[in-house]
Structure 1
Amino acid sequence: MAYAFHHAGVLCRADNGLMTDTVRVGALVFAAVLQVFAGVVGGAGLWGESVGVVANSYPTLILPGGTAFSIWSLIYVGFAALAVRQAVQRSRDVHRRTGRWLVAAGLLNATWVLLFTNRQFLLAQLVIVGLLACLTMAALRLQPANGCADRLLLHIPVMVYLGWVAVATVAGAATTAAAFGAAPGTAVAIAALLLTGIAAALAALRLPAVVGFAAAVCWAFAWIAVNTSTTWVLVAALVAIAAVAVTVVIRIEGRSNRSTAAWG
């Protein structure tokens, strides 16, 4: 009898775990679709103004220009692939560790688009800070990649997303300040770029899939450099890129040396 009750309890816990996994995966797929929908609506200005029109209404010295925002297409594709893989592997511990944070990230991203395109700048800035926090939590919960599939369909999507949002949060703060009549001057813009570069370089020492993170950060800095006509802002952006790139090289070299020592 005791065995029967124990067996029933095990089955009940298993069913509850499966239900939790199913709900989490369903929410993640929904978040993936929702943020793509929000991106299309926000890009075309179908609900309020377009993101580009609003951002360009308050130009700042650290606003990325050119085709910088095309990285969202890569982010959305990567997030969708990640969601599908979690649906297939719903019971993996790494998906359980990261899934809820990624659901929150997708929902917050869609919320940010809605707020920003309707010029709710302060609320939008609070939301993008929350988005950055959720992506950071997801990144810190990643486990060592189990083969190329993990790298391509989990680590890189999360880290590219995080890298872009890290710089976008700072650029968004500048836009928010400009909307309230306090656009950052040259000195503040330079300081913001250098501090963001230092923070990204330090993060690259700790985070997994560092190349994906660094590539997105450097992409954002590069388009800030392209979009500015202020020499010292350009220099600051290039210094930030160099700091992140050098850190990544040092980290990769460190890994290579440890691997060589292990085989020696």
Structure 2
Amino acid sequence: MTASVSTPAARATTADRVRAGALLAGALLQVVAGALGGSGAFGLSVGQVAQENTTVVMPVPAAFSIWGLIYAGLLLLAVRQALPGQPGRAVHRATGWWLVASTVLNAGWILVFSAQAVVLAQVVIVALLVVLAVALARLTAHRAEGAADRLMLHGPVALYAGWVSVATVVGAATTGTFLGAPGRGGVATVLGALVLLVTGAIAAAVTARGAGAVAYAASVVWALGAIVVMGPPLAVTVAALVALLAVLAVAVRRVTTAPRGTRLAAAFG
């Protein structure tokens, strides 16, 4: 991978400034929604709803602390992209509104899940995954222009996308349980194991080619590891470990096989 060449930003337009302001407002909105959803202000807390619909792929509750890091990263991204010289950049024009949509969808998911509208919540989180996938793909087409982009743009989006990749699968299982499907037992175990293997394969492919490879892989590994720690049936544990190791191996390979001097770009660019 060749080093990125910094390109001058276009002069910011009114549309650019509106987009930058919307992303900053959205980043703050999801922080507030996350705090309220965790406290049960909208009904039950997110954790309570999840525990009432437990499945074989449920992560250990402590794993959800990653949301604090995701919120902090998105807030840092939002502040930076609103600073002088940033709003007119092509990368922000390509990704900004998609990231705004992600903040609104995340806040909406918290609201509807806390209200126990589990099916609607699953529709929302699938939409969130799609939006983040588009944002990450567009970032991949705009290589990072230095360490600041890697830390405050590619990294936060990739971390967010990685976590939501697994959270969507967990949410699907939760939705099935809510609708009356068995959360545990032979069929649930087989389906859970198969879905985790497919998730690992997709996540490994994204890690191999996408922007922010290390951040993306780290959040996926964190989520899969949390499922293992929860102590699911053996088949699910093995599947989660296989998926985890596949993603980790691809991330390590991407970094170690990059030419010396470009490894940081390979990891975070």
TM-score (norm 1): 0.89
Alignment partner, residue 140 of structure 1: 137
Alignment partner, residue 117 of structure 2: 120
* Cα displacement (A) at 1:259: 6.0
* Cα displacement (A) at 1:118: 0.7
CA distance in 1, matches of 2:182, 2:148: 44
Alignment partner, residue 267 of structure 2: none
Alignment partner, residue 241 of structure 1: 244
* Cα displacement (A) at 1:258: 10
CA distance in 1, matches of 2:262, 2:23: 36
Map Cα deviations across residues 93-135 of structure 1 (whole Å, 9 max, x no partner).
1111110000000000000001101111111111101101111
Q: Which has the larger radius of gyration?
A: 1
CA distance in 1, matches of 2:61, 2:35: 18
CA contact (8 A) 1:174 1:183 kept: no
Deviates more, 1:227-236 or 1:162-171: 227-236
Deviates more, 1:134-143 or 1:247-256: 247-256
CA contact (8 A) 1:132 1:166 kept: yes
CA distance in 1, matches of 2:262, 2:51: 48
Alignment partner, residue 86 of structure 1: 81
Map Cα deviations across residues 122-160 of structure 1 (whole Å, 9 max, x no partner).
111111011011111111111111111111100100000
Greater helix fraction, Structure 1 or Structure 2: 1
The structure 1 segments of at least 4 consecutive aligned residues displaced by more than 3 Å after TM superposition are: 257-260
Within a 5 Å distance, the mapping from 1:183-202 to structure 2 comes to 183=182, 185-202=188-205
Alignment partner, residue 111 of structure 1: 108
Change (3 A) 1:22 1:259: closer
Alignment partner, residue 22 of structure 1: 17
CA distance in 1, matches of 2:88, 2:262: 31
For structure 1, the 5+ residue unaligned runs are 1-13
Q: Does 1:100 align with 2:103?
A: no
CA contact (8 A) 1:79 1:157 kept: yes
Task: Return the match for 2:224 from 217, 221, 224.
Answer: 221
Q: Secondary structure at the residue paired with 1:67? A: helix
Q: Does 1:38 align with 2:33?
A: yes
Q: Secondary structure at the residue paired with 2:13? A: helix
RMSD between aligned residues? 1.7
CA contact (8 A) 1:194 1:240 kept: yes
CA distance in 2, matches of 1:220, 1:207: 19
Map Cα deviations across residues 140-188 of structure 1 (whole Å, 9 max, x no partner).
1111111111111001000000000000000000000000011351101
CA distance in 1, matches of 2:175, 2:132: 21
CA contact (8 A) 1:32 1:79 kept: yes
Change (3 A) 1:194 1:77: same
Amino acid at match of 1:176: T
What is the aligned-residue identity percentage? Answer: 49
CA distance in 1, matches of 2:158, 2:220: 10
CA distance in 2, matches of 1:259, 1:76: 29
CA contact (8 A) 2:57 2:232 kept: no
Amino acid at match of 2:57: I
CA distance in 2, matches of 1:219, 1:236: 15
CA contact (8 A) 1:27 1:103 kept: yes
* Cα displacement (A) at 1:250: 2.2
* Cα displacement (A) at 1:205: 1.7
* Cα displacement (A) at 1:253: 3.1
CA distance in 2, matches of 1:257, 1:80: 32
* Cα displacement (A) at 1:246: 1.1
CA contact (8 A) 1:125 1:173 kept: yes
